[in-house]
Structure 1
């Protein structure tokens, strides 16, 4: 099985590559320290498993997962992180990852995770249950129908005047909804809102 390692922490990536190379059934097809490097590799090589650091700089692991799967849908992605937060894990799984492994877990469990997802299963750290993941609410589900409508227009770059005309509401009402949307999605600016939307695969379509 051909493995791609995606992690910006060089010592960890090198160490993981060494461990993977010792497994007869696994082949490290490449390693990358950024989304750009990872996409370049999947653009030219078939990858069976991608081990992706969730906390990559610039473009995080959630976005990278979507990008990798868009190029190679058959590839299985396993998120790697030191954090076992259910919200973070659920977000990674929604992006298309098949599993999530803590960097503090023994390497034997990482190989168990690889074998498990290759069999079509989903792998979670021993400290996290399926129920915990199921109970995590998608952040955009916090929005009302009207807030989702306005968010869609904002994501498409529409002006307040255009939104007011399309939805037959006042500029003051739009601003009120905008502030509520930012608060519910824990964003401070429209740029941060766009980043949150991108991370969760939400578009203005």
Structure 2
């Protein structure tokens, strides 16, 4: 690749984008050429003018995982997820969507630079926490929480009742109960409070 790696930043916080732009532009081999506030902006990115999309997961509007799926399907630029979310469910969902890498926002600037360059070359790059989560997933695939189970646990962590969880996720209370049975089995617990606590200890939510 001749010239600097052209990067698009996608994050719904302008201050975060400004900080990332300053960091990346300080490296001579990277140039931030575009920005967006949600995944929809990323989907419109042109692979002929953008080499790498650095994108968050949770954003107002289209989320990063949905956008990554659309970009991969359309043959768009490769995606490096840069986020504060380190739950196993988010990591697995992002990689399943086709993200080339996954980095946490507290990573050193040199790691961010390395991740962008690796993504541009087509090489996968992960934070250490991501590698640990993938190792757990491979070692015990039957005990890995599904994305829906993680959503339910996150709702329970706010103190929501089964009926409130069902309403927020547009499913029935009976379906919530079924998911809870599976969650308890996977986490080795027998009640809601213990499930939330165990999930937080394991950084699953």
Given the two structures, how large is their TM-score scaled by the length of structure 2?
0.62
Cα distance in 1 for residues equivalent to 2:177 and 2:54: 32
Quote the Cα distance in structure 2 between the aligned partners of 1:71 and 1:108. Answer: 30
Q: Closer, same or farther in 2 for the Cα pair 1:182/1:43, shift >3 Å? A: farther
8 A Cα contact 2:102 2:130, kept in partner: no
Summarize deviations over 1:114-149 as a string: whole Å, max 9, x none: 222333322111223241343564738x9xxxxxxx
Please tell me whether Structure 1 or Structure 2 has the larger radius of gyration of its CA atoms: 1
Matches of 2:82 and 2:101, distance apart in 1? 9
Q: Which runs of 5 or more residues in structure 2 are unaligned? A: 150-171, 181-205
Count of residues in Structure 1 that have an aligned counterpart in Structure 2: 150
Aligned to 1:25: 29
TM-score relative to the length of structure 1:
0.62
Q: Do structure 1's residue 131 and structure 2's residue 135 form an aligned pair?
A: yes
Instruction: Report deviation, 1:33.
Output: 0.7
Matching of residue 15 in structure 1 with residue 23 in structure 2: no
Residue 48 (1) aligns with residue 51 (2): yes
- Residues 27-50 of structure 1 show CA distances to partners (whole Å, capped at 9, x for unaligned) of 21200012233333x158532110
Q: Could you say if the C-alpha distance between residues 50 and 138 of structure 1 is closer, same or farther in structure 2, counting changes exceeding 3 Å?
A: farther
Cα distance 1:45–1:182, how it changes in 2: closer, same or farther (>3 A)?
farther
In 1, the alpha carbon distance for the partners of 2:178 and 2:85 equals: 24
